[in-house]
Chain A
Amino acid sequence: DAGITQSPRHKVTETGTPVTLRCHQTENHRYMYWYRQDPGHGLRLIHYSYGVKDTDKGEVSDGYSVSRSKTEDFLLTLESATSSQTSVYFCAISGGLAGPTDTQYFGPGTRLTVL
């Protein structure tokens, strides 16, 4: 298995509070991604990173920000959590050498509940 960990694995928080999810990899892969998984929607890309301090938006980026200060860590922040952000969040990594054909490896997920 690719060395990807996500923390926390479960979190319950209240509307309006800030939340930060962490993705950590030990593979030295260039690309990192944050997705959210919701029933009936599959997975949707929130943000991605193509290198340290290089990030870009995905299709559902509103309400989320990211940071990548080290190759191994990619943080996802909900500045002010809303109930619509209740979801399962997955981090993924890829080596990027082959570009879009690279396999993405997924972490175990973080289940976030916003009350």
Chain B
Amino acid sequence: AQSVTQLDSQVPVFEEAPVELRCNYSSSVSVYLFWYVQYPNQGLQLLLKYLSGSTLVESINGFEAEFNKSQTSFHLRKPSVHISDTAEYFCAVTPSSNTGKLIFGQGTTLQVKP
């Protein structure tokens, strides 16, 4: 079985400051890793995903995440946040042999303050 732990339920940060949202996972098999973002009153959107290859993956809006197999982590970072990044962020995994069933973490609310 797989599980995902997001270590912070809320992360307050000032605009233009750097941020890291932490994600750890547990699995006995190889997995694919995802970050989804949910803006207020909307559904989830894919932010980025790690499948294989380079352990650093980037999104189009400046976020990046690094897969660390030894620490079973997939932390999300952004060097300078904007007010518009205020949202809830979900880390998720799926076993590489599965049909795409996602196991989500509890979510982290990023609150960007002016």
Segment of A12-20, A62-70, A74-82, A96-104 engaged in the interface with chain B = A96-104
- Is B49's CB under 8 angstroms from A48's CB? no
- Is A109's CB under 8 angstroms from B43's CB? yes
The tally of CB-CB contacts under 8 A between chains A and B is 69
Shortest distance between the CB of B65 and any CB in chain A (Å): 15
Q: Counting CB contacts under 8 A, is A25 at the interface?
A: no
Residues of A within 8 A of B4 (CB): 42
CA distance A103 to B51 in the complex (A): 11
Q: Counting CB contacts under 8 A, is B28 at the interface?
A: no
Shortest distance between the CB of B101 and any CB in chain A (Å): 6
Q: Which of A33, A43, A100 makes the CB contact (< 8 A) with B98?
A: A100
- Is A100's CB under 8 angstroms from B46's CB? no
- Is A42's CB under 8 angstroms from B100's CB? no
- The interface on chain B, measured as residues whose beta carbon lies within 8 A of the other chain's beta carbons, has a size of 27
Q: Counting CB contacts under 8 A, is B83 at the interface?
A: no
- Is A41's CB under 8 angstroms from B51's CB? no
CA distance A104 to B96 in the complex (A): 15
- Is B100's CB under 8 angstroms from A99's CB? yes
CA distance A90 to B101 in the complex (A): 14
Known: A106-B43, A108-B43. A43 touches B32 (CB 8 A): no
Q: A33-B102, A48-B101, A107-B43 are in contact. List 13 more A-B contacts (CB 8 A).
A: A44-B104, A96-B99, A99-B99, A99-B100, A100-B32, A100-B100, A100-B101, A101-B49, A102-B100, A103-B49, A106-B43, A109-B42, A109-B43
Give 24 A-B contacts (CB < 8 Å), ordered by A residue: A4-B43, A35-B104, A40-B9, A41-B106, A42-B6, A42-B104, A42-B105, A42-B107, A43-B90, A45-B102, A59-B103, A90-B44, A92-B44, A99-B100, A100-B95, A100-B96, A100-B99, A100-B100, A102-B100, A104-B44, A106-B36, A106-B43, A106-B44, A107-B43
